[in-house]
């Protein structure tokens, strides 16, 4: 009897790209990596969803060109996420800005990648990271996401003009209510009218 050693199964990728030439180059590079098996299609939501419905895919890689930066890539990402919420998704964009970063992660991306700032080797690391249940984002992208989570108010130009959304008095009222005091008890404690509280 022969003992067969079976290595780890390759990650099954779906590569959906809006441009032919970069897609072929990406697929050609992925072909040389035994850790990946892939299926590809155009950046069409119906084609993507059909492949996902009929095949076991570990990660969907959605790649778009600069012309698709009008938000269509987020619409496709959203449709894929709604149909397959547990599927790991990576969005590849030629360039990104604050809005794209925030909306990509809100819409279900687990990674955001750009070849303008990283290599193919980094994409392979991104794929492995996302397949392990982690998020892939660079320092600038993380800062955008942290800015959304931190209670700050931004002026139209994006600069922070207030770190506190509540005044000191409002914070006192919130603290008392959080401690379980009723509105009436809070008004007595702070010397304010119940209407103000």
Q: Is the pLDDT of residue 1 over 60?
A: no
**193: CB partners within 8 A, 6+ apart:** 187
pLDDT > 70 in the chain, percent: 76
DSSP 8-state secondary structure symbol assigned to residue 136: B
**What is the Cα–Cα distance from 138 to 86, expressed in whole angstroms?**
23
Average pLDDT, the chain: 81
**152: CB partners within 8 A, 6+ apart:** 160, 162, 163, 165
Residue 70's pLDDT band, with cuts at 50, 70 and 90, is low
Q: Is the pLDDT of residue 40 over 70?
A: yes
Return the higher-pLDDT residue of 23 and 36.
Answer: 36
Which tens digit of pLDDT belongs to each residue from 128-160?
999 999 999 999 999 998 888 765 555 555 555
Grouping H, G, I as helix, E, B as strand and the rest as coil, residue 150 is: coil
Return the higher-pLDDT residue of 18 and 2.
Answer: 18
Quick check: 109 and 89 in contact, CB under 8 A? Answer: yes
Which tens digit of pLDDT belongs to each residue from 72-128?
788 899 999 999 999 999 999 888 889 999 999 998 999 999 888 888 999 999 999
Q: Is the pLDDT of residue 34 over 60?
A: yes
Q: What pLDDT does 172 receive?
A: 73
Indicate the helix (H) or strand (E) that contains 120.
helix 120-131
Quick check: 53 and 45 in contact, CB under 8 A? Answer: no
Which of these ranges, 18-27, 41-50, 94-103, has the smallest mean pLDDT? 18-27
Q: Is the pLDDT of residue 161 over 60?
A: no
Q: What pLDDT does 118 receive?
A: 85
- Rg of the chain on CA atoms, in Å: 23
Q: What pLDDT does 183 receive?
A: 77
Q: What pLDDT does 80 receive?
A: 94
Quick check: 73 and 93 in contact, CB under 8 A? Answer: yes
Quote the pTM value. Answer: 0.70
């Amino acid at each position: 009897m022969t003992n067969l050693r079976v290595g780890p199964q390759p990650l099954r990728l779906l590569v959906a790209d809006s441009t032919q030439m970069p897609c072929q180059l990406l697929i050609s590079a992925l072909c040389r990596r035994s850790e990946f098996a892939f299926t590809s299609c155009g950046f069409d939501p119906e084609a993507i969803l059909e492949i996902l419905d009929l095949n076991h895919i570990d990660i969907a890689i959605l790649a778009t060109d600069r012309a698709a930066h009008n938000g269509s890539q987020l619409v496709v990402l959203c449709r894929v996420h709604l149909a397959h919420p547990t599927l790991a998704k990576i969005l590849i964009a030629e360039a990104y800005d604050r809005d794209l970063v925030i909306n990509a992660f809100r819409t279900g991306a687990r990674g955001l990648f750009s070849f303008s700032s990283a290599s193919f080797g980094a994409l392979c690391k991104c794929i492995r990271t996302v397949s392990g249940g982690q998020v892939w984002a660079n320092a600038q992208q993380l800062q955008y996401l942290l800015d959304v989570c931190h209670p700050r108010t931004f002026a139209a130009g994006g600069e922070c003009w207030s770190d506190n959304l509540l005044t000191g008095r409002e914070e006192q009222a919130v603290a008392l209510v959080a401690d379980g005091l009723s509105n009436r008890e809070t008004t007595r404690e702070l010397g304010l009218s119940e209407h103000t509280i």
